[in-house]
Amino acid sequence: MKSCLNLCRGTHLVRKRKNGTNLPLCSRPSAPGGITQRSCAFYGARWMLAPLEDAIHVVHGPVGCASYGSTVRGRSFRVFSTALEEKDIVFGGRKRLIRTIKEAKAIMPHAKYCFVYATCSTAIIGDDIENICKKMEKDLGCPVIFVNCPGFKGDSQASGHRVAYESLLNRLIGQGKRTEVGEYDVNIIGDYNINGESKVLKSLLEEMGIRVRCIFTGHADYEGIIAAHTVRLNLLICQSSGRFLAEALQKRYGIPYLKVTFLGPSQTMAGLRKIGQYFGLEAQAEKVIATGYKAIKPGLDRFLPRLKGKRAALFFGAARMASLIKALDDMGTKVVFTGSQFGDLTTYKETCQAVSPGTYIIDDASEQDLEHLLDELRPDVFMGGIKEQYLSHKLGIGFCPFPQLKRAGPYVGFQGFLNFAGSVHNAVYAPVWKLARGE
């Protein structure tokens, strides 16, 4: 490994040893002056709450934050902005916020609840948004929820994820009741319905006879959220952002949670079996597994031989790291380095267990670190977000973007694994890489 990389990254970059675990330093603020892949708390909160489309989303700050925040996972959502101007910064944005919330409600009268996001500017000038929200709640007659996510809060977007879940937990969950509660009701926590995942998960579980009541936050609505405490079990999918909510629900309402992942057939099977065991539905689980696996077998036979022995590299948020490595294992693909923007100790422990010795693990890599790692290790395919995509392409390395393109379909479940394998296959075998090398 290049010496300059080691010098600058210190122990944020480690290589897995044969015996024992060595983990990278993590959950630290990033050093100034780097080209960071991390983002801010506001980004994290929007990432979580944007799919709640029956709510009013008011961004209290200059117009820039609202225009950026209206795009989440490559989709546009409507947000209302207070669009603060210079005089509001000087005299405070209180009046503007009150008027904006009222007007937003007039434009969207069917909305049942309202989120008000703080931004850097409004947090620094000290607008008492929480009190304004309380006051507005009485005027509008619907919950007005303050999301305290100024951009500088915490180390990365992970703090925004947490704030978003906190606001849901403290203000909405437990407020409502359900008239009928089934024996096999579950919530899914940490699925964001990037490309129809929620539908796949729902149908998989419904085949087993399990009813999904609310998916945080990929497929959630007001009724689902306020009655989220009336289920038998929570299924935790995104382990970094969702763990907080799952643990809180367990503590407050005594609902147990199961860690499951539906990436790759082996994990999907294990997950379904786990759920089956919990509810005593083992036979149904086996049935779903058998039909699901049978359906994709011909596809796997076609793809997997071509992917065997290929080398992959990952750089993500945090959630999918360990589970994706296992899914890649199913594919016969070796991971050469993996990293995350805001992983915590638990994520890295799981990752370290999942990877084979000799793999590099990096925390909070900057653009240059990724560049060096890619240049040095030359994986066949790199997976990450859109910011990393074009860097990888410039170095002549195939890229598999997350969130994936609409065309690729969902990656979870049995059929999803086939979609995923197809995407990886496309990234590895695109003829352009051969042409670029002049072969």
Partner 1 sequence: MTMPLKLNGRLTIEDLNALPEIPIEGITYDQMYIEKQPICPEYIPPDQDIIPSSKRTVVIDPGRICMPFGAMWAAVGVHKCIPFVQGAQGCTTYPRYTFSRIFREPVSIATASFHEDTAVFGGRKNFIDGLRNLIIRYHPEVIAIITVCSSEIIGDDMEGFLEEAQEELEEELGPKILDEVKFVITHTPSFAGSHVEGYNRAAAAFLKTLAKRTTPNNKVNIIPGMITPGDIREIKHILKLMDIEGTILFDISETLDCPLRLPQPMPYYPKGGTRTEDIVNMGNSLMTFALCPDQGGAGAKYLEKRFKMPATIGPLPLGIHSTDLFIKSLAEATGKPIADEIKDERGILIDAMADTFHYTMGMRVAIYGDPDIAAAATRFCCELGMEPAIVGSGTESKQFVKDVWATAYEYDRKPIILNGSDMFEWEDYLKKDKIDLILGNSKAANVSKEADVPLVRIGFPIYDRVGYQRRAYVGYRGGEYLLDLIVNTILDSKFPDDRVQQ
Site for partner 1 in 400-419 (CB under 8 A): none
Residues between 1 and 40 that touch partner 1 (CB under 8 A): 4, 8, 29-40
- Give backbone dihedrals phi and psi of 314, rounded to 5 degrees, phi first: -130, 145
* Near partner 1 by CB under 8 A: residue from 96, 161, 229, 326: 96
In this complex, which beta carbon is closest to partner 1, that of residue 54 or of residue 282? Answer: 54
User: In this structure, what is the dihedral angle of CA atoms 311, 401, 415, 196, given to the nearest 10 degrees?
Assistant: 160
In this complex, which beta carbon is closest to partner 1, that of residue 20 or of residue 126? Answer: 126
Q: Reply yes or no: is the peptide bond before residue 217 cis, omega within 30 of 0.
A: yes
Contact assessment for residue 371 and residue 391, using Cβ atoms and an 8 Å cutoff: yes
Taking CB under 8 A as the rule, does residue 85 contact partner 1?
yes
- Give backbone dihedrals phi and psi of 413, rounded to 5 degrees, phi first: 80, -170
Taking CB under 8 A as the rule, does residue 241 contact partner 1?
no
In this complex, which beta carbon is closest to partner 1, that of residue 155 or of residue 207? Answer: 155
Residues between 346 and 375 that touch partner 1 (CB under 8 A): 366-368, 371-372, 375
Taking CB under 8 A as the rule, does residue 89 contact partner 1?
yes
Taking CB under 8 A as the rule, does residue 193 contact partner 1?
no
Residues between 111 and 140 that touch partner 1 (CB under 8 A): 119-121, 123-125
In this complex, which beta carbon is closest to partner 1, that of residue 104 or of residue 285? Answer: 104
Taking CB under 8 A as the rule, does residue 438 contact partner 1?
yes
3-state secondary structure (DSSP) of residue 14: strand
Contact assessment for residue 116 and residue 101, using Cβ atoms and an 8 Å cutoff: yes
* Near partner 1 by CB under 8 A: residue from 6, 10, 17, 107: 107
In this complex, which beta carbon is closest to partner 1, that of residue 152 or of residue 183? Answer: 152
Buried-state track 392-406, b at ≥16 Cβ within 10 A, e below 16? beeeebbbbbbbbee
In this complex, which beta carbon is closest to partner 1, that of residue 279 or of residue 433? Answer: 433
In this complex, which beta carbon is closest to partner 1, that of residue 103 or of residue 206? Answer: 103
Please enumerate in sequence order all residues whose Cβ is within 8 A of that of 290, keeping only pairs 6 or more positions apart, or say none. none
Instruction: Tell me what percent of the chain is helix, strand and coil, each rounded to the nearest 5.
Output: 50, 15, 35
Taking CB under 8 A as the rule, does residue 91 contact partner 1?
no
* Near partner 1 by CB under 8 A: residue from 48, 52, 65, 288: 65
Supply the minimum distance, in Å, between the C-beta of residue 349 and partner 1. 25
Supply the minimum distance, in Å, between the C-beta of residue 66 and partner 1. 6
Q: Reply yes or no: is the peptide bond before residue 256 cis, omega within 30 of 0.
A: no
- Single out the segment in contact with partner 1 by CB under 8 A; choices: 83-91, 226-234, 249-257, 353-361: 83-91
Contact assessment for residue 362 and residue 22, using Cβ atoms and an 8 Å cutoff: no
In this complex, which beta carbon is closest to partner 1, that of residue 11 or of residue 152? Answer: 152
Supply the minimum distance, in Å, between the C-beta of residue 419 and partner 1. 22
Q: How many angstroms from the chain centroid is the CA of residue 227?
A: 23
- Radius of gyration (Cα) for the chain, nearest Å? 23
Contact assessment for residue 219 and residue 205, using Cβ atoms and an 8 Å cutoff: no
What is the distance between the alpha carbons of residues 375 and 2, in angstroms, rounded to a whole number? 10
Residues between 374 and 403 that touch partner 1 (CB under 8 A): 375, 386-387, 389-391, 393-396
* Near partner 1 by CB under 8 A: residue from 6, 11, 21, 67: 67
Residue 131 gets the label, from left (phi > 0), alpha (psi -120 to 50) or beta, of alpha
Supply the minimum distance, in Å, between the C-beta of residue 161 and partner 1. 13
Contact assessment for residue 168 and residue 189, using Cβ atoms and an 8 Å cutoff: no
